[in-house]
Amino acid sequence: MDFSSKLLENAVYEMSQLPGIGKRTALRLVLHLLKQPNERTKGLTTALSNLREGIKLCENCHNISDVQLCELCASSKRDRSLICVVEDIRDVMAIENTSQYNGLYHVLGGKISPMEGVGPQELTIGSLVKKAKSGEIKELIFALSSTMEGDTTNFYIYKQLEGLDINTSTIARGIAVGDELEYADEVTLGRSILNRIPFEGSLKAN
């Protein structure tokens, strides 16, 4: 693309560094900001700067937080003996949206992935193991994505907990509620048959 303005070119370049934003989309977004009142751009840039400078991670669960201890960890209503291990803060938000979980979380910050140069040291596994050794935790729920990296990470943590009196579980995989069996992939359908649950148990969930 041939820009008539260096300032514009620079703004489009920076915008196109965001994931999933190509040059054309970046140009559209930047031109949109130019058409809007000045305050729009100012609002966006201020919000991003404030976030980048002011953001903290909860010292207990590593969730994003404005204070040292996040709302969930600070709450007296949550079950502190139950920890759900997730990859990312988006997973915390997704599970919180279900209103079905009353324990705490532990945000790993990613999965072990040698291909991308992410080892256990890059994640918050150390602090999770330390928490586990303090004796406060009764159950650890693995809720990582079911990929090779997710499984590896689960297993790595599982090995680190050997000898401790902690139950481990993973979230159930199966056919989504409302989905048709004929369109499900075989692996998922297979697992949902292997891991079937008593019919009386399924009634309680609703």
Interaction site with a second copy (CB under 8 A) = 1-8, 10-11, 13-15, 17-21, 25, 27-34, 38, 40-45, 47-52, 54-55, 58, 63-66, 70-72, 88-90, 92-93, 96-97
* Smallest distance from a second copy to CB 66, Å: 5
**Running DSSP on this structure, what letter comes out for residue 79?**
E
* Smallest distance from a second copy to CB 83, Å: 16
* Smallest distance from a second copy to CB 103, Å: 15
Identity of the residue numbered 55: I
* Smallest distance from a second copy to CB 193, Å: 32
Distance CA 190, CA 115 (A): 29
* Smallest distance from a second copy to CB 45, Å: 4
Distance CA 25, CA 4 (A): 18
Instruction: Decide whether 3 or 155 has the Cβ nearer to a second copy.
Output: 3
Instruction: Decide whether 78 or 138 has the Cβ nearer to a second copy.
Output: 78
Instruction: Tell me the Ramachandran region of residue 188: left when phi exceeds 0, alpha when psi lies from -120 to 50, beta otherwise.
Output: alpha
Instruction: Decide whether 88 or 151 has the Cβ nearer to a second copy.
Output: 88
Q: Are strands 56-57 and 64-65 parallel, antiparallel or unpaired?
A: antiparallel
Instruction: Decide whether 31 or 148 has the Cβ nearer to a second copy.
Output: 31
Residue 118 β-bridge partners: 113
Instruction: Decide whether 24 or 173 has the Cβ nearer to a second copy.
Output: 24
